[in-house]
Structure 1
Amino acid sequence: MLAETQTGYFSDEKRWQSWLDVEAALARVQAEAGVIPDWAAREITAAARLEKLDVMKFRTEIRRTMAPVHALSRSLADACGDAGAWVHWGATTQNVIDAGRLLVLKELQADLKGGFALALHRMAGLAETHAETAMVGRTNRQHALPITFGFKVAGWIDEFLRVGERIEECEQRLFQLRFGGAIGAFQSLGEKGPALSARLAEELGLKSALYEGRAQVDTLIEYISCLAMLGVAVSRIGNDLYVLMQTEIGEVTEDLGHDVVGSSTMPHKVNPKLVVALTSEANLLRAKAASAYAVTPPSHEGDAVTNRELRILVEETSLLALSVTDRLAGILDAVVVETGATNRNLASSSDGTALESVMMRLAPKLGRAAAHDALHAAVTRARTTGEPLDSLILSMPEIEGAIDTAALKQLFDPRRNTGQSAAIARQFAVAGRERAGRLETASGANRNTRASAGLE
């Protein structure tokens, strides 16, 4: 479950304070440029704290005017005395709302990176611990070839690394300030407008946009899509675990303690709990991509319908992403690999899952296609007659002399047939930890930047 600090990212109080942070930064850069007096900027900055405003009066004004930024700028002006005349100079509602949202998302993004890092650390631990824990690999839900559980986890890490790269890479486009005034052409600020906007971006820890209009929605849609890809990756992890937990397989369980009850009427049941919550939320997160691409295109130079749709989607999607990473780290810490079940299931099809290796041993002498056909015939006959597969293979005229009993017995040992599973698991354990370390550094650096800018 998310901490209170995480669920509060989009509270009224957090949103309003982000707007105040923008108003204060705007006043400071305008004072630097000689647009407003220095003393006014100091007064505005000092008053731009929510606790210094009459919040009840502010709420009342919002209900009366249905214009929250207008109400906020009036409340801030009232708190500034004579400096209030310079509040919100040359800005427009959407400028402040969009800039404030970016400040909140930067903070949230740091939290998300921390969650990513924790999940990667735990996946790396599982991959390393179970690098040599043999199990059956499955394709199309059928037994295929032996692998290790660590190899399976390596596949999760591989996808998770790319998801993290996408989310980080889109930051350079997402965190661009557009502060061009009512329509984006700096009518209120004139020739000083572009330079003021660039300086404001620097003050807020954002990048400066080349075009500062209000109808650009692609960056938020891209961000939602990247977060939805987290849902895609985690849905696969959750589905893997959920299926491996079913009674007929039983290779994974959740360590929930003895007090957890599976059913109110069936005392024997121990239902999966964590994986159900994880997978359901990951599926909801995955579906947000479709909603993002269905957002109403903005009309002309700005459209409140599109803005409202995107605000709701961004808030829902980013909170879901935080929750999914939090739940993923939780279940990875609770996963128990049941080696008795992995060994039993592996042994149940050890003859069949060895046949690719047998085929490749026979191929230099028989040809790959001929070896494949001979083994297919042998396994078909074994299924029909119940004869031991190894004896059938050794007795086939076309195979006679191509492989001996000892070599065949060795190939039929599934633990000798996991290929490079262990090496790949260890490779991705290292890659996961390295990436987690970089994410932790980036997360901490963002918090330090916000603190130095007075935004914490």
Structure 2
Amino acid sequence: MTAPFRSPFSLLTQLVGDQEQLGIFAPDGCLESWLAAERALALGQAASGVIEVADAEAIVAAACAGNIDHDRLWAKARTVGYPIVGLVREIERNLSDSLVGRVHFGATTQDIMDTGLALQLSRSLSALDRRLGDLGDAIAEQTRRYAHTVMAARTHAQQAVPTTFGATLATLLAQFARHRRRLAQAHPRIAVVSLFGAGGTSAALGERAGQIRADMAERLNLYDTEMPWHADRDGVAEFGWLCATITAACAKLARNVVDLSRTEIGEVSEPYVSHRGASSTMPQKVNPISSEAIIGLSGAAGALSSSLLRLQEAGHERAAGEWQIEWHVIPQLAVLAGSALGEALTLVRGLRVDPDRMRTNLLLGGGTIMAEAQMMRLAETMGHDRAHALVYEAAARTRQRGIALTHSLREVAEEQNVLHLVPDPLITADDYLGQAVQNCARTVNAWQQTPALKVHDIAISELARERH
């Protein structure tokens, strides 16, 4: 008996791991995808007259997970370095002697593994798209709810000008809409069949190679291609990059929540149930555990994504080590992305917002957040440069003496004999929101028009078999 498969324990995955992505890239998921490729190959060859229909039917019946001895398969894979030789032997054990040699006819190991990978990546993209859809819908709902909730916009970690909480969420919603479009655009470049033989020339299958490959693609709901991609991994690298950048977008949301939930700010908090985010020693603590997990997931994804360029270095017609990098990195990136989206959905759906604290924080620093607004109003009568200098001096006095900007502004204006040019009353935060509220409505509407990824998603164990 071979030792059971064990991956290094990951506390992060244990706590927030996406079960769907973990299942797609589990050993059984890989095995099912390779078997589906072998079934489709046999049926495609029968349709093109390379093997007999009855032989293909027997191969399809034999190429099922229940017929595979996992211990023997993986023991053979450790010897060979790849699993397909052992897989073919396992299929052949369930066939008559006359059919030995017909399984996997004219294909190379990477044809089967890459076709299987394409099936997994397609399913992974579909799952990520569903997650994106749920998260975007949740952000859209919160964007509508808080479209008019005034708060401080922050630049360089300092209060800048007034905005609304809905407007800050709208920028994230627009980003997730772009990610969803990227998934749809990338799917035809990623979910691609492979059948090109040892050196990428399809010599073993001759003139019928293209017909068989097209038939395989149709049976497996993959895209066909006329060019081999054994050593051209830009599509695989693109998948990894999509996972990493989606995870990073989730981390942007998480970092904002961490900052806004600081005791000194207290404008936004994570969902709460008893003991969520509790400390073992400090009874008052309610730690932002979802945000922390997302930031951790993104940091790990960023580190892994640095290897994606190495995948594309594979030379000549077949990799010599670069392929093995993706075996480790691609499944992890998919799991990290799915996990980040799932945790972000929990975060957004249960987000606790304190509009009163947002209003109160607008008064911090004596209301200097209104400096630009007052300057622009004064610029209408005294020009931009003079107005800027006046308000700059007023803001400096506000910081130095702890008085309100409205008071220091009138004080400086009186000293400069321009008090008559200062509007009364002065502009307020509600009057200086620009397009914030309209941006919320536009972004929500645009999100609702963003199409979902359309994938005919059936169980891999049924692929090819259903057409047969």
**TM-score when normalising by structure 2:** 0.89
- Cα deviation for residue 41 of structure 1 reads 0.9
For 2:87, the equivalent position in structure 1 comes to 72
Task: Note if 1:124 corresponds to 2:140.
Answer: yes
For 1:405, the equivalent position in structure 2 comes to 424
- SS of the aligned residue for 2:93 comes to helix
- Cα deviation for residue 379 of structure 1 reads 2.2
Query: Are the structure 2 counterparts of residues 15 and 385 from structure 1 closer, same or farther at C-alpha, using a change threshold of 3 Å?
Result: closer
Task: Note if 1:210 corresponds to 2:229.
Answer: no
- SS of the aligned residue for 2:394 comes to helix
- Cα deviation for residue 365 of structure 1 reads 1.4
Q: Deviations over 1:128-147 (max 9, x none)?
A: 11111111111111111111
For 2:55, the equivalent position in structure 1 comes to 40
- Cα deviation for residue 298 of structure 1 reads 1.7
Query: Are the structure 2 counterparts of residues 365 and 62 from structure 1 closer, same or farther at C-alpha, using a change threshold of 3 Å?
Result: closer
Please, which of 414, 420, 423 is the counterpart of residue 435 of structure 2?
420
Distance in structure 2 (CA, Å) of the matches to 1:455 and 1:135: 56
Query: Are the structure 2 counterparts of residues 180 and 393 from structure 1 closer, same or farther at C-alpha, using a change threshold of 3 Å?
Result: same
Query: Are the structure 2 counterparts of residues 197 and 366 from structure 1 closer, same or farther at C-alpha, using a change threshold of 3 Å?
Result: same
**8 A Cα contact 1:145 1:353, kept in partner:** yes
State how 1:317-336 maps to structure 2 within 5 Å.
Answer: 317-336=333-352
Please, which of 20, 24, 29 is the counterpart of residue 35 of structure 2?
20
- SS of the aligned residue for 1:90 comes to coil
Query: Are the structure 2 counterparts of residues 170 and 455 from structure 1 closer, same or farther at C-alpha, using a change threshold of 3 Å?
Result: farther
Distance in structure 2 (CA, Å) of the matches to 1:59 and 1:287: 29
Distance in structure 2 (CA, Å) of the matches to 1:217 and 1:289: 14
Question: Which protein has the bigger helix share?
Answer: 1
Structure 1 spans left out of the alignment, 5+ residues:
none
Distance in structure 2 (CA, Å) of the matches to 1:422 and 1:282: 30
Distance in structure 2 (CA, Å) of the matches to 1:429 and 1:326: 21
Query: Are the structure 2 counterparts of residues 427 and 228 from structure 1 closer, same or farther at C-alpha, using a change threshold of 3 Å?
Result: same
Query: Counterpart of 1:13 in structure 2: which amino acid?
Result: D
- SS of the aligned residue for 2:352 comes to strand
Query: Counterpart of 2:420 in structure 1: which amino acid?
Result: G
**8 A Cα contact 1:262 1:269, kept in partner:** yes
**TM-score when normalising by structure 1:** 0.91
Query: Are the structure 2 counterparts of residues 455 and 144 from structure 1 closer, same or farther at C-alpha, using a change threshold of 3 Å?
Result: farther
- SS of the aligned residue for 2:321 comes to helix
State how 1:160-239 maps to structure 2 within 5 Å.
Answer: 160-239=176-255
Query: Are the structure 2 counterparts of residues 359 and 273 from structure 1 closer, same or farther at C-alpha, using a change threshold of 3 Å?
Result: same
Distance in structure 1 (CA, Å) of the matches to 2:125 and 2:64: 23
Distance in structure 2 (CA, Å) of the matches to 1:296 and 1:360: 52
Q: Deviations over 1:306-356 (max 9, x none)?
A: 111112111111111111111111111121012232122112246312222
For 1:248, the equivalent position in structure 2 comes to 264
Q: Deviations over 1:228-247 (max 9, x none)?
A: 11122122111111111111
Distance in structure 1 (CA, Å) of the matches to 2:212 and 2:65: 25
Q: Deviations over 1:242-290 (max 9, x none)?
A: 1111111111112221233522222222221111111111222233331
Query: Are the structure 2 counterparts of residues 156 and 311 from structure 1 closer, same or farther at C-alpha, using a change threshold of 3 Å?
Result: same
- SS of the aligned residue for 1:135 comes to strand
- Cα deviation for residue 182 of structure 1 reads 0.9
For 2:67, the equivalent position in structure 1 comes to 52
Q: Deviations over 1:403-425 (max 9, x none)?
A: 3322x1xx1x3233222212212
Distance in structure 1 (CA, Å) of the matches to 2:301 and 2:365: 37
- SS of the aligned residue for 2:129 comes to helix
**8 A Cα contact 2:193 2:224, kept in partner:** yes
Structure 2 spans left out of the alignment, 5+ residues:
1-15
Identity over the aligned pairs, expressed in percent? 26
**How many residue pairs end up in the alignment?**
447
